[in-house]
Structure 1
Amino acid sequence: MRIDQNLATGGGSSRVATGETTVPGRIDVKERVYRTVTEQASATLIGVPRGDVKVDVTEHPGGIAVRIATPLPIPDLDDTVAISQSVPVLDRARQLQEQLQQRLTGIIGRDVTRITLTITGATIPERRRVR
């Protein structure tokens, strides 16, 4: 994946309205960089270890398409209060798609036009005792 910069007349740098200098040339970002960043951001947002998240990133018309496979944290099934207060799985998945699109677009700097989220299982987060 690469970004080509417009070359100014005469090969010099040009000023953009924001005051930034544009240097002629191109920027190459390997797909594995997008994949690594997407894995880490997704794992953090979802609340699972990075190793549990599998990501594919591909070019898509107008931006990037992301496929994420991950387990979803759920409350302990013995904790009826937490279950009654939790959001249903499909609603939670839709919320995660929206949050991931916003976060990844901001981090990567490219439009994330499609997110396919596959829930591969459920995990129960470990409770930590406060001393």
Structure 2
Amino acid sequence: MDSAQAGRTGGGAHRVADAAPTHPGRTVVRERVLVRVAEEATADALRVQRGHLSVEVSEARGGMALTISTPLPVPELDDIDAIQQGTPVLERVQAIQNQLRDRITQLTGRDVTRVNMTITGAVIAAKRRVL
């Protein structure tokens, strides 16, 4: 096969570029927007009020790192069944970190490479009514 044929079949150095449209310019997403998205996602995942938690966003290894300080919902201490069926705190926090990493990556389109969490206290989880 000669070089002219290789270019036509896409196997050589003269591959035809994709015909995808290009849009000149750039999009800038301010840090405060990323913080708000992370706050909302965290408040939703933990079912705590957004005012009770704080989130910091920074650059890390080609993506963003989150530092989250939040209370952790716990069952009422006299609800023995809920306590016995509950997951240990460290396992819960690890699951929450993974969930937040995936959700915030999906929402922002940016890789979340690290989620650091500091549990600042405990709040009694609101009981859900069954209708």
The TM-score bracket by the shorter chain reads: 0.7 to 0.9
State the aligned residue count. 114
SS of the residue aligned with 1:24? coil
CA radius of gyration, larger in: 2
Q: Distance in 1 between matches of 2:27 and 2:129?
A: 47
2:32 matched to which residue of 1? 32
Q: Distance in 2 between matches of 1:39 and 1:94?
A: 18
Distance 1:97 1:130, change over 3 A: closer
Distance 1:23 1:72, change over 3 A: same
Report the RMSD for the aligned CA atoms in angstroms. Answer: 1.6
More strand by share: 1
SS of the residue aligned with 1:127? coil
2:112 matched to which residue of 1? 112
| TM-score normalised by length of structure 1 | 0.81
Shift of the alpha carbon at 1:60?
Answer: 1.3
- Write out aligned runs for 1:13-92 (5 A): 15-16=19-20, 21-92=21-92
Taking only the aligned residue pairs, the percentage that are identical comes to: 50
Shift of the alpha carbon at 1:129?
Answer: 5.3
The unaligned stretches of length 5 or more in structure 1 are 1-13
Query: Letter of the aligned partner of 2:42 in structure 1?
Result: S
The unaligned stretches of length 5 or more in structure 2 are 1-17
1:125 matched to 2:125? The reply is yes
